[in-house]
Structure 1
Amino acid sequence: MYAVVKTGGKQYRVSAGEKIKVEQIAADVGQEIVLDQVLAIGSGADLKVGTPLVSGASVKATVISQGKHDKVRIFKLRRRKHYVKHQGHRQRYTELQIGDITV
């Protein structure tokens, strides 16, 4: 059984026992959270799609860790204009261990 959930403005296809990294969620390590924005639930050839959400469906997950992704380096250059700009960014994430999926 799998589900498509929405969190942090992105959609993820998850199944029980899977680990995923999502946009940062304000939760402590070890805390159990409920992802209630379920867009679809599937099991084999059977698929239930919500309009836009599946009513009564939820996914339980446990927070494993909080961290930052690798640094993305931004370099801008305008040739012959004496313009050089260096910038970096590290996006924060929350790693989740997916538990049970309820309909």
Structure 2
Amino acid sequence: MLLPETCSIKVDGVGCNLPPAHVVSIQSRDGSGEYMVAVVCDDHKDGLEKRLQEMQKAGRVPEGRIHFQPVKLVVTDCVAGMEEDYVDIELKRGANSDRKLA
């Protein structure tokens, strides 16, 4: 899943520039679904939880359990592709690849 690069919280109209640490969702009470509502950094996690609880009481967001799922970053520097990808690496970039010859 592609996430925003920064936290969803704005303080005094200024967006937080920290990267998200949690995906925030609300799990419906009847078990019919889970709805993603934001991504948030560690600094704003508690404040967002309190605000969502207030919004639930006011009926502005669905009732249910507020769920914070930690963001797990996955990065790779490998090349896995088709023949054209290896040709690009070998010819255009001048690098040798570990391509298996048929």
Same fold, judged at TM 0.5 (above): no
- TM-score, length-scaled by structure 2: 0.25
Task: Write 1 or 2 for the structure with the bigger share of strand.
Answer: 1
- TM-score, length-scaled by structure 1: 0.25
Q: Which has the higher contact order (CA 8 A, sep 6+)?
A: 1
Task: Write 1 or 2 for the structure with the bigger share of helix.
Answer: 2
Bigger Rg over Cα: 2
